[in-house]
């Protein structure tokens, strides 16, 4: 498979190739995949105090959020009540339809069209990988494919977010499992960390994918792409088994969406290394 890789906010194709480097190299050595990279078109400055965190400049986003507080979600999530479903948690963060500007909708459509163009121009691309903001765009691309066409055959999401979609009434909404049938039918692999304060978002993305072809794996860390040799090796081994099963149509997930994400035990059917 050849994956198109989409970085998170304040990333770039160059920096993401470094960030994903240990994983990509491991997968290539296993003969499982090759990787190519894209980036957003909005050049941005990193948040104050994080000037050296995101790597060398220039930095980009797929969606311009310069008027928003980059860390608002992190501050709010610490005050949320426990026991909410991932979907209920996300709704507490949803913007009202009136606050989603026409400019933002246009940016979203443009970002999807640019990613779609990259995919269409390279006949070897048959899979997609995204991290954080890039994972949301990747999921949105796969949702549109589910509705209209199919080229990509596999999706990998690191610290993902459910897809956004334009509704017939012009609203831009997140597709959530308790409001719609599975939005993404192809095999998907969801990598998240149980120490990520935004883990509810990754689980909500997993929930809205076809549960027969989705796999969720907890690396036990935070909102990041794992780079240490042990985690990368374990991740590669699990992915190899999942991808081989996907090729044969034998993949099976946990069968039902996850409604309580406060305890990721081995009994949940989720691949987990958080206690290692």
Q: Give me the pLDDT at residue 56, please.
A: 96
Backbone angles phi, psi at 166, to 5 degrees: -80, 125
Torsion, Cα of 90, 92, 98, 101 (10° steps): -50
Q: Give me the pLDDT at residue 251, please.
A: 47
Q: Give me the pLDDT at residue 80, please.
A: 72
First CA to last CA distance, the chain: 30
Q: Give me the pLDDT at residue 182, please.
A: 78
DSSP 8-state assignment for residue 267: G
- Residue 51, token pair as written in the block: 């000037």
Q: Is the dihedral of CA 32, 36, 40, 46 positive or negative?
A: positive
What's the pTM? Answer: 0.88
Q: What is the DSSP string of 215-227?
A: EEEE-SS-SS---
- Residue 158 CA, chain-centre distance (Å), reads 5
What does the buried/exposed string (b/e) look like for 197-232 if buried means 16 or more CB atoms within 10 Å of the residue's CB? bbbbbbbbbbbbbbbebbbbbbbbbebbbbeeeebb
Which residues, in sequence order, are CB contacts of 227 under 8 Å at separation 6+?
19, 21, 22, 23
> CB of 118 within 8 A of CB of 38?
yes
Q: Give me the pLDDT at residue 264, please.
A: 45
**Residue of 17, 98, 99, 132 marked catalytic:** 132
103 in catalytic set? no
From CA 233, how far away is CA 210, in angstroms rounded? Answer: 26
From CA 61, how far away is CA 39, in angstroms rounded? Answer: 7
pLDDT tens-digit map of 41-60: 999 999 888 889 999 999 99
Which residues, in sequence order, are CB contacts of 142 under 8 Å at separation 6+?
128, 152, 155, 163, 183, 184, 186, 188
Listed as ranges, residues in the chain with pLDDT below 70 are 66-79, 94-99, 147-149, 249-276
Domains of the chain with CATH codes:
2-272 (3.40.50.1820)
Q: Give me the pLDDT at residue 259, please.
A: 63
């Amino acid at each position: 498979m050849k994956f198109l890789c989409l970085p998170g906010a304040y990333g770039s194709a160059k920096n993401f190739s470094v960030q994903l480097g240990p994983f990509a190299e491991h997968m290539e050595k296993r003969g499982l995949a090759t990787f190519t990279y894209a980036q957003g078109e909005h050049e941005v400055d990193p948040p104050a105090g994080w000037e050296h965190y995101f790597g060398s400049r220039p930095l980009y986003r797929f969606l311009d959020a310069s008027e928003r507080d980059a860390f608002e979600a992190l501050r709010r999530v610490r005050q949320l009540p426990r026991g909410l479903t991932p979907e209920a948690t996300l709704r507490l963060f949803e913007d009202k339809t009136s606050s989603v500007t026409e400019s933002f909708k246009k940016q979203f459509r443009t970002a999807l069209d640019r990613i779609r163009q990259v995919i269409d121009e390279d006949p070897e691309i048959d899979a997609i990988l995204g991290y954080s903001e890039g994972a949301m765009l990747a999921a949105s691309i796969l949702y549109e494919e589910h509705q209209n066409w199919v080229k990509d055959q596999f999706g990998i999401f690191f610290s993902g977010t459910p897809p956004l979609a334009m509704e017939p009434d012009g609203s831009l909404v997140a597709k959530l499992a308790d409001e719609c049938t599975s939005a993404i039918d192809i095999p998907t692999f969801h990598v998240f960390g149980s120490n990520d304060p935004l883990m509810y978002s990754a689980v909500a993305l997993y929930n809205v994918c076809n549960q027969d072809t989705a796999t969720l794996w907890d690396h036990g860390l935070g909102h990041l792409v794992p780079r240490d040799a042990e985690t990368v090796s374990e991740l590669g081994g699990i992915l190899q088994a999942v991808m081989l099963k996907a090729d044969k149509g034998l993949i099976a997930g946990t069968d039902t969406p996850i409604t309580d994400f406060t305890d990721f035990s081995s009994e949940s059917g989720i691949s987990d290394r958080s206690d290692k």
